[in-house]
Amino acid sequence: MKKDNSPARGHRDLLPDDVQTRDGLLAAISGVYARYGYRRIETPALENIERLTRGQGGENEKLIFRVLRRGLPPTIEATTPTDSLVDLGLRYDLTVPLTRFYGQHAATLPFPFRSFQFGPVWRAERPQKGRYRQFHQCDIDLIGEPGTLAEIELIEATVEALITVGVNRAVVRVSDRRFLAALAATLGMVGASADSFFVTLDKLDKLGWSGVREQLVLSGLAHGGLNRIEDIVDTLVATRPEEIPNAIADAVPALADHVIDDLNHTLRAAAAIPAMGDDAATVTFDPTLVRGMGYYTGQIFEIGHADSTSSIAGGGRYDDLIGSTMGRSVPACGFSIGFERIVDLVTLSAAPTRLALLAEPGLDPIRLAALARGLRENGPPVVVIPVRGKWGTQLSRLEEEGFTSYMHVRPENLDGTLNHEERPLRRP
C-alpha cells in the first residue's frame, strides 16, 4: 500500500540538482575564506539544553527542538516539570557552539583564531513558504583581534565570497552599537530602554518615522527628543561618505573619538575594496542599522540585495561573549552569510556532461564493467543502464534525466573488434 512519504512538517529533501548547487556555492565560498586563513571547524548538532537557554539566543530560544532524556519510564507521572524530561537540544545557531568550542579548545588553537563554520541549525518556526525548520548557516569569525583589522577583513572576505558566487551589487551597511547607545543617551535612554529604542528604530524601513515615533511614545520611551533623533538620522543618511566621521562627531558629541576613528577606518577601507570601485558592491554608513542579537558590542554590518527582501549577510563585533565562559576577556567579530538566501539568488549551474551506456541483456558482466571503466577513466561520468522498454522512449527519458550522450552496447560490439559509437542525446 502506498504510504505518505513527506518529510516531517516544515522540513524538506534536497534533490541531486539542489545538492549540486549548494555544494558548488559552498566550495566557492570556502575557497575565498581559505585564502584569508579561515579554517573550518565542526561542532555537534546537539548541545546540553542549559547551554542553549542562557538568554544569548533571544527569541530563538523559544524555538529549540528539545530532546528527551534517555531511559525515561514508559509513563510520566503527574505534576512532572516538562523541563526535567529534557537534557539536550538541537542548536539554533552556530555562535553558541562556537563560544563553547573556543572555550574548550583555545589552548590548542592559533591566536588570533579564524573560524569558518558551515552547518545545519534547527528552529521550530511556524512553517512558511521558502523557510524551513532545518537550514544552513555559514559563519566566519575572527577571535582574538581587538582592532578594525577584523571588521575590515570580514567585510572584504564576505563581499569577495558573494561576488565569487555571482551575487553582485550587494549593499554593505555599517554602523556601531556604541553610536546607537550614545544616540539613545541623548534622549535619556540607557540600558533596557535603550535596547527597546534600538528594536523600534530597526523597523524604520517598514514603519517610517511616524510609525517609529508612535511606537516609541506608546511604550513611554521618548517624547520631546524625537524630532532631534529624526533630524540626526536624516542628516547622517544625507551625508557623503567621506564626511560621515565629522557629521557623527557633530551630531553625537558624547561619542568617544576612537569609536568615530574606528568607523572611519572601516568605511574607508571597505570603500577601497576593488569590487566597490566597479560597482559590484557598495558600502554605506546606516544610522538606523541595529541587528537583532543582544550580544553585539561595537561595529555591526549587514548586506542587502535588491533581489532579496531580507538581508543576505550580517554580523558585527561581540567582545563579551567568547570570554564569558573562559574567565577572561576575548575580543571577537563575526560575519554570517544567509546561505539559504544566497541559494535562492543564484542560478543553477549547467548540468554536467554524462554518458549513458545502454547495455543489451545478457552481456558478459566483466567485459561490460571493463568498457565502462575505460570510458570513465578520463572522460565524463559513465552510467550503465540496461536497455528496457521502447528504444525511443528510453532515449527521450535519458535526455530528460540530463544525459548528454549514449552508447549502445550489444554482444557483437563488446568483444573489442568493433568500435563503440558515442551519440549525442541533446538536440542541437
Strand partners, 47: 89
Which range binds a second copy by CB under 8 A, 108-116, 217-225, 227-235, 405-413?
A: 108-116
Which residue's CB is nearer to a second copy, number 400 or number 421?
A: 400
Cβ 272 to a second copy, closest distance in Å? 5
Q: Would you say 137 and 1 are in contact if contact means Cβ atoms under 8 Å apart?
A: no
Which residue's CB is nearer to a second copy, number 15 or number 238?
A: 15
Q: Which of residues 359-388 bind a second copy (CB under 8 A)?
A: 359, 365-366, 368-370, 373, 376, 381-386
CA torsion sign for 210, 211, 215, 216 is negative
Cα 41 to its chain centre, rounded Å, is 15
Q: Is 329 an interacting residue with respect to a second copy (CB under 8 A)?
A: no
CA dist 117 and 42 (Å) reads 7
Binding residue (CB under 8 A) for a second copy from 55, 74, 224, 253: 74
Instruction: Give the type of residue at 158.
Output: T
Cβ 79 to a second copy, closest distance in Å? 5
| Binding-site string for a second copy from residue 295 to residue 314, where x marks contact by CB under 8 A and - marks none | --------------------
- The candidate with the shortest Cα–Cα distance to 21, out of 284, 344, 425, 320, is 344
Instruction: Give the type of residue at 17.
Output: D
Which residue's CB is nearer to a second copy, number 41 or number 204?
A: 41
Binding residue (CB under 8 A) for a second copy from 96, 138, 143, 152: 152
Q: Which of residues 388-407 bind a second copy (CB under 8 A)?
A: 397, 401-402
- The candidate with the shortest Cα–Cα distance to 147, out of 322, 317, 327, 323, is 317
- The candidate with the shortest Cα–Cα distance to 119, out of 279, 340, 351, is 340
Which residue's CB is nearer to a second copy, number 244 or number 273?
A: 273
CA torsion sign for 76, 77, 83, 88 is negative
Binding residue (CB under 8 A) for a second copy from 21, 24, 45, 193: 45
Q: Which of residues 160-179 bind a second copy (CB under 8 A)?
A: none
Q: Is 190 an interacting residue with respect to a second copy (CB under 8 A)?
A: no
- The candidate with the shortest Cα–Cα distance to 344, out of 168, 130, 134, is 130
